[in-house]
Amino acid sequence: MLTVQLNGERIVLEQPLPLDQFLMQYLTGSEPSLPFAVALNGVFVPKQDYSLRLLNHHDALEVLSLIVGG
């Protein structure tokens, strides 16, 4: 088992997951429809690389949504 943090919340995983699968599983069951960005351990990950990034024990993810307003 391994643990990761998603926006400060600890999540226990049974096995390592690629970032795209993790997002689909832990963000309301599918990718958010709003534009968003993902930082893995403080480094932004391009969307085309989500399937290439395997989450490791103690990784920290921040998912940031675009907020528009004035």
Write the pLDDT tens digit of every residue in 10-65: 999 999 999 999 998 887 654 455 678 999 999 999 999 999 999 999 999 999 88
What's the pTM value of the predicted model, to 2 decimals? 0.81
Question: Rounded to an integer, what is the distance from CA 36 to the centroid of its chain?
Answer: 10
Cβ neighbors of 60 (< 8 A, separation 6 or more) are 4, 5, 40, 41, 42
| Helical (H) or strand (E) element with 20 | helix 19-26
